[in-house]
Structure 1
Amino acid sequence: MPRLLPAILILVLTTTLSHAQGYGYGNSKSGLSDRTTNRVVRLLEQGLRQCQALDSVYRYDCYRQNYQAAGKQLTGNPAYAPAQQALRDVENTLAGVLNANADPAAKPLRRRGKRYAAISEAAIPRSKAAFTEALDEATTQLLRSAGSSGDHFARIASALDSEKVFLRS
């Protein structure tokens, strides 16, 4: 029995630590964590910079892919369901923009292992307006849901707000 005690302690500690890491640094009972929220905010901010580096006709597909990736970070965590839905709504708006305004004459752009479709140059003002409206709605949705989620949803909403400011400039 004395030989098994260290092995049992290691097993218990490993299980406890891996469970705690799954939720990050936040409130493990709620499923919200600083780690997850930081990852989503960082992904949105990095994506904005990467998309802004592209020609404007390719940005909307880049934005769509970025919101899709950010939403996937929240899959399987019910505490983030409202945030995931807000990100999906933005993604769906951008998918609609792409479908309605695709430029069949433009070749897809490949960058960093990703492929981006183009919209027509004439559609950029409409696309920007639709994207801005989707960001406004998502921000409002996140801030209304922020009650029980502390500042997690507010931080994601702030990242969306930054994107709106960047689009308007």
Structure 2
Amino acid sequence: MLKSFVFSCFQFLAISFTTLTKSWILFLAHFGMLLLVDKINLYGELNGHEECVNTVEFNSTGDLLVSGSDDKHVVLWNWATKSKTLSYASGHLDNIFQARIIPFADEKKIVTSPADGQVRLGEILENGQVRTRKLGEHQGRVHNLAVDPGSPHIFYSSGEDGLVQHVS
């Protein structure tokens, strides 16, 4: 049974099961800080965004976490050690609403969608730098991304323009 809770000054982002600890983690945002709650106890804080955090998502193994924010940055986290692995400017012109790690790509590819309508791919290069490029665009905000769990090359985006775009 799923219950709703009201958290004063907190924005509920997601609840997700991780195979690493075999438990459910609740994600909350509070003034640019991402809070991890395990068993309704505060597990830790991940500090790295300057503005409101809008999205969090585990990788396929549950050991890494990606977040996106109104600060237009993407952060990759080792959430168990509460450490930032990587942070980069997404290339978006507006708030990031969704960020997803592409499966079967060695955690080197992250797709993002924002309020500016662009769907962008961030590719982590061997030297640690990140190259971003536009893959698609909607007329209006892009609120959701869905990655095909069996393919590193297929995902879908949906936007305020009423379209679902298939990107491969």
Whether the TM-score (by the shorter chain) exceeds 0.5 is no
Q: Indicate the TM-score class for this superposition, using the shorter chain for normalisation.
A: under 0.3
Q: TM-score, normalised by structure 1?
A: 0.21
| Larger helix proportion of the pair | 1
| Larger strand proportion of the pair | 2
Q: Determine which structure has greater relative contact order: mean sequence separation of CA pairs < 8 Å that are 6+ residues apart, divided by chain length.
A: 1
Q: TM-score, normalised by structure 2?
A: 0.22
Higher Rg: 1
